[in-house]
């Protein structure tokens, strides 16, 4: 029987996905990434799940792609196996996805965290993209997302000079949302995700889409799409419930409709 590298559970309205390949420091291979994207898709389709939390262990989030898997491939073979394209599954998830990073998030592991919407880091977190030290470059969005997150100069240093960012530096440069003690990473990140899960699901998905558009579209197009999403939400039951609850000074009950 094939071992699964992903553990999934639901805690109230938060879907919790744990990367579980400890014997390889959670290195990412095709099986692990395929299982991860399947788990994300299932949670995204579950109406009772309003936010998703992705976590590794206290020691390592993910130490990168599995180099033993990739080492012998030619360029044509690497293209054909579609490994880096598996990361694109995260772009299809409409619900907020939070990465909880403790220990090392290197190479593909860092790219995985960058592809999430928010990052909670433990004090032991270390972020890096060391691909140039083994003769390649980040291939799953790392050069693009990191430059957008921290700017050109620092992205150049991290990627070209193999600089590791500490959790405190990542917070300083706006790469992570907050830093927590190592022993509290699961509790604090779950609490953070639970807060987001309390928001109106359709509005949260629309807000996520609009914010992502800000990094991919010109300002005029982004504002136009924001306005379209704003108007569209007035046809939702959640908008009626949310505004009526505000008027009545009570807590809303979201239906995701």
Instruction: Quote the radius of gyration of the chain (alpha carbons, Å).
Output: 19
Cα(152)–Cα(194) distance, integer angstroms = 34
Q: Measured between alpha carbons, how far is residue 51 from residues 16, 46, 90, 171, 243 in Å?
A: 9, 10, 13, 22, 22
Cα(244)–Cα(238) distance, integer angstroms = 10
Q: Measured between alpha carbons, how far is residue 234 from residues 140, 224, 237, 249, 252 in Å?
A: 37, 16, 8, 20, 16
Catalytic residue ranges: 65, 108, 111, 131
Cα(187)–Cα(14) distance, integer angstroms = 12
Cα(257)–Cα(32) distance, integer angstroms = 33
Task: Tell me the β-bridge partners of 52.
Answer: 15, 97
Cβ contacts of residue 1 below 8 Å, gap of 6+? none
């Amino acid at each position: 029987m094939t071992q699964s590298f992903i553990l999934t559970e639901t805690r109230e309205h938060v879907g919790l996905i744990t990367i579980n390949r400890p014997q390889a420091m959670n290195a990412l291979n095709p099986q692990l990434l395929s299982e991860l994207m399947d788990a994300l898709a299932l949670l995204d389709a579950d109406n009772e799940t309003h936010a998703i939390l992705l976590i590794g262990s206290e020691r390592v989030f993910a130490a990168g792609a599995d180099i033993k898997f990739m080492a012998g491939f030619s360029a044509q073979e690497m293209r054909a196996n579609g490994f880096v394209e598996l990361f694109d599954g995260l772009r299809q998830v409409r619900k907020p996805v939070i990465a909880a990073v403790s220990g090392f998030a290197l190479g593909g592991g860092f790219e995985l965290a960058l592809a999430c919407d928010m990052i909670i880091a433990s004090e032991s977190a270390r972020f890096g993209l060391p691909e140039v030290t083994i003769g390649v470059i980040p291939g799953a969005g790392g050069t693009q997302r990191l430059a957008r997150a921290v700017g050109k100069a620092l992205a150049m240093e991290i990627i070209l000079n193999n600089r590791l960012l500490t959790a405190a530096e990542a917070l300083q440069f706006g790469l992570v949302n907050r830093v927590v003690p190592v022993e509290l990473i699961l509790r604090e990140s779950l609490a953070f995700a639970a807060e987001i899960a309390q928001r109106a699901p359709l509005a949260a998905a629309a807000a996520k889409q609009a914010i992502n558009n800000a990094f991919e579209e010109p300002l005029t197009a982004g504002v136009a799409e924001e306005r379209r999403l704003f108007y569209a939400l007035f046809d939702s039951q959640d908008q009626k419930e949310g505004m009526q609850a505000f008027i009545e000074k009570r807590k809303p009950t979201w239906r995701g409709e």
